[in-house]
Amino acid sequence: MIDTLYYGDHHCNCGHHIQNNASVQFDADVLSAFMHKVYNGFDTSKEVDAALWHEVQRIINEGTVEGLAQAKTPPSHDTMFYRELRHSNEVFSAFKVHTMGVEMAAKLLDRDGNLKPFDKWLHDVSGITSHQVGSWLRTEYDMAVIRAHAAADWREFERNKDILPNLRWMPTTSPEPESSHRRYWQMKLTLPIDDPFWNEHHPGDRWNCKCSLEATDEPVNSPDDLEPAAPHRGLENNPGKDGHTFSDRHPYFPDKCSQCFAYRKSGFRNRLKAWFTNRQKDCYNCPFIDGCLYGTEKGEIKNIKKAARQTLQGSSLSHPDFNGMITVSRRSIDEWTNQPHIHYAEKNRMLLYIDDVLKQSVYLGHKQDCSTKPGSKWVHLFETKIQGDRSWIVVKEYQDGTKILYSISDGENILIGLKEK
């Protein structure tokens, strides 16, 4: 199904038709460890392997970052938009990993119901792994680049729609353009940015599409008998509007909640509550999925601290308007995760991508540190937003010149005494 969806009816299985992007280098050790876990009884029907999940989302996130960087005007300081894209990549990666694991586990037993020898099983699942972390993952990376670029362009179109109210479909850069989109740019299709057409139909609504849009003040141009081609499955949404790299209609996702591993794992009481509230499928805003990926609040903090200590502790951060490097210490991680906040869980998750968050924040200035502890001299504040509410990242500067990430606050009193930069 995925081969046909990504590459059409006429395709080969070797993946040579896909550009082998050097950025897509899957960690072989992570894959090997996962395969041993599955062979030794890891329950792929109920669990998502954390290491494999992080590796897949790392690659999809790299595609998203690349796409945003290619945009004419990247959406600077739009932290909520970045966060939505990142979260959608987390959810998509989880369902991809779950699908991969279930398919691999299904091949563990031979016809007599006996566990296959490990080498025999490795051979039998080689087609699954070569697709899931090979050609398919490269295609998903490429589409993450395309969709993030298109999403960033869309945000710019929205900002400038008072001046340039219409959008024109531009020719593709693909050497083999698809016929379904050719008619749009041949007729110079031009519609208002608020036209419902753009909700589902836009460049990037078909796998490997390389069309684009251009903002214009030229008049609307659309035939009365326009019959738009249906978007490909998984690409029906406009990522510039909802912040989702892929839609939850992609084949990795279940058709309904009762088929979802996270829903089945949530417990009878939660499932009963969802049934009585007539919950509709919305995978990117689902408490069952978030609960499965991040665990309970206490468990999530523990996992975040562990991940942060492994990947962030001892690293250095920078900001374009701030002089000097900022170090992340063990205390930084503890103070950040312990700090109360109106968006407590989201604040903690933000720590794992603090490098991006800090770069997108606004440096406000500094003030004298009122702490009684010796050595601390200045407090520097950087403004960001969480769920639309302002928060301030705190960096402490010491008498020896070192600058340490300290914490984050949602209290406006922290601005008292601030000397603007």
Tell whether 84 and 185 lie within a shared domain: yes
Write down the pLDDT at residue 81: 84
Range of 365's domain? 311-420
Residue for token pair 């939660």: 270
Question: Tokens at residue 189, please?
Answer: 């299709």
- Structural domain contains residue 282: yes
Residue for token pair 């403004």: 383
Confidence tier at 224 by pLDDT (50, 70, 90): confident
Rounded to whole angstroms, the Cα distance separating 107 from 123 reads 10
- Structural domain contains residue 207: yes
Rounded to the nearest integer, the mean pLDDT of the chain is: 86
Residue 413, Cβ density class (10 Å: 0-12 exposed, 13-18 middle, ≥19 buried): exposed
Tell whether 326 and 236 lie within a shared domain: no
Tell whether 225 and 350 lie within a shared domain: no
Write down the pLDDT at residue 95: 96
Write down the pLDDT at residue 265: 57
Tell whether 185 and 64 lie within a shared domain: yes
Please write the tens of the pLDDT for every residue from 43-71: 999 888 888 998 898 899 999 989 998 88
Please write the tens of the pLDDT for every residue from 288-324: 787 777 664 566 678 888 888 988 999 999 999 999 9
Tell whether 236 and 114 lie within a shared domain: yes
Write down the pLDDT at residue 299: 65
- Structural domain contains residue 306: no
| Cβ count near 217 (within 10 Å) | 8
Tell whether 98 and 19 lie within a shared domain: yes
Confidence tier at 372 by pLDDT (50, 70, 90): low
Average pLDDT over residues 140-147: 95
Task: Please report, rounded to a whole number, the percentage of residues in the chain having pLDDT higher than 70.
Answer: 89
Rounded to whole angstroms, the Cα distance separating 380 from 269 reads 46
Tell whether 91 and 225 lie within a shared domain: yes
Tell whether 382 and 271 lie within a shared domain: no
| Cβ count near 421 (within 10 Å) | 13
Question: Would the pLDDT of 129 be above 80?
Answer: yes
Rounded to whole angstroms, the Cα distance separating 108 from 123 reads 11
Question: Would the pLDDT of 267 be above 60?
Answer: no
Residue 178, Cβ density class (10 Å: 0-12 exposed, 13-18 middle, ≥19 buried): middle
Rounded to whole angstroms, the Cα distance separating 30 from 53 reads 10
Alpha carbon of residue 218 to chain centroid: 35
- Structural domain contains residue 235: yes
Tell whether 67 and 40 lie within a shared domain: yes
Sheet (strand 362-368) strand order = 316-317, 326-327, 403-409, 389-398, 376-386, 362-368, 419-420
Write down the pLDDT at residue 77: 60
More confident residue, 258 or 106: 106
Residue of 83, 84, 82 lying closest to 74 (CA atoms): 82
Rounded to whole angstroms, the Cα distance separating 87 from 397 reads 32
Tell whether 415 and 362 lie within a shared domain: yes
Q: Structural domain tally of the chain?
A: 3
